[in-house]
Amino acid sequence: MWTRFAIVAVIAAAIVFPLFVTVNYFIHLAILAMIFMIVAQGANVIQGYTGYVSIAQGAFMGIGAYASALLSMRAGFPVWLSMLVAPAITAVAAAIAGYPSLRVKGHYFAIVTLAMNMVVFIVLVNWISLTKGEPGLPSIPSPEAINLGFIEIAFEKRRAFYYLALAALVLVMWIVAAVVRSRVGRVLLAIRQNETFAEAAGIACWKYKLFAFIFSASLAGFGGAIYAHYMGFINPTPFSADASLNAILAVILGGSGTLTGPLIGGALTVILPEALRVAEIYRLIAYGLLLILVVIFLPRGLVPAMVDGVRSITGRGKKAP
């Protein structure tokens, strides 16, 4: 009951947020945070539920961003269609890269995905004829306006794009929740807990790992597509290994293997560096210290810690959502 109430309260607060916040900068941060929550939720699928750390989310976010931008700018696709096709293109790239990559396990898999991210980044920088390299792609169109008859929703406005990002995040959360609670989700958890035992039980683990990898990549690609059409400009910088590490960090901070953990972690990884700008040259030091303290004293993440706190107060035992 309390979990449902909390979910409804959070969604309601998110809906009314732009109505009471008049500073565009805060709405801008909220949009970026929600986009990164989608990317972090993808990382959570492969990392939190399957137990494989992928350092390639930044690369897949970049593939989705460039795919959607180029489809709408050069192929003449409607932006809405581009944003739907981009995750599919990202999924194909992940399938091609994931099939050989998932033959290795543990730290070796992480190293392979890091190399993958570096290769994609180098391609984005050096394929000048397609990506324009470091100068980037300017004038990326916004989604076409939606005419409801009595009102026209134009996505050049930040408030309209805020609700688009919110709707996308809710959709992603619903899909991930459905997957996690299905038989596929139970198999992924079994792989995380003991892959050898799962294989001995007759489960074709590589198929499920490949699915998790492709699914996580497609979510990153979806987030990248939204990012491209929101910013109106992209270059390779936001899609380096730093973005992948931030996605991993978001999962760890919020709570690995929880649905709501990437939301908290994703918001923190976007908002904290901005909030610490007042520290000027000490900003990164302060940010790093805060992260270290959280990891040391709350190793399971913020969401499980909050659930434990509520449980100790109410006397009820419930797993972190």
pLDDT at residue 316, rounded to an integer: 60
The domain tally of the chain equals 1
Q: What is the full DSSP assignment across 1-29?
A: -HHHHHHHHHHHHHHHHHHH---HHHHHH
- Residue at 35 is within a domain: yes
pLDDT digits (tens, 9 = 90+) for 191-249: 999 898 998 888 888 999 999 999 999 999 999 999 999 999 999 999 999 999 999 99
Burial 44-80 (b: 16+ CB within 10 A, else e): bbbbbbbbbbbbbbbbbbbbbbbbbbbbbbeeebebe
In the three-class reduction of DSSP (H, G, I as helix; E, B as strand; rest coil), residue 39 is classed as helix
Structural domain span for residue 124: 1-239
Average pLDDT over residues 289-302: 83
Q: Is residue 257 part of a domain?
A: no
pLDDT per position as a tens digit, 146-170: 887 777 787 878 889 999 999 999 9
User: Is there a domain that residue 287 lies in?
Assistant: no
73 lies in a domain? Answer: yes
Averaged pLDDT, 92-117: 91
**Is the pTM value of this prediction over 0.85?**
yes
Say if 231 falls within a structural domain. Answer: yes
**Higher per-residue confidence, 158 vs 125:** 125
Q: Which residues of 262-275 are buried (b: 16+ CB within 10 A; e: fewer)?
A: bbbbbbbbbbeeee
Please say whether the beta carbons of 36 and 197 come within 8 A.
no
Structural domain includes residue 216: yes
Q: Is the pLDDT of residue 104 over 90?
A: no
285 assigned to some structural domain = no
Q: Does residue 304 form part of some domain?
A: no
Decide: helix, strand or coil at residue 66: helix
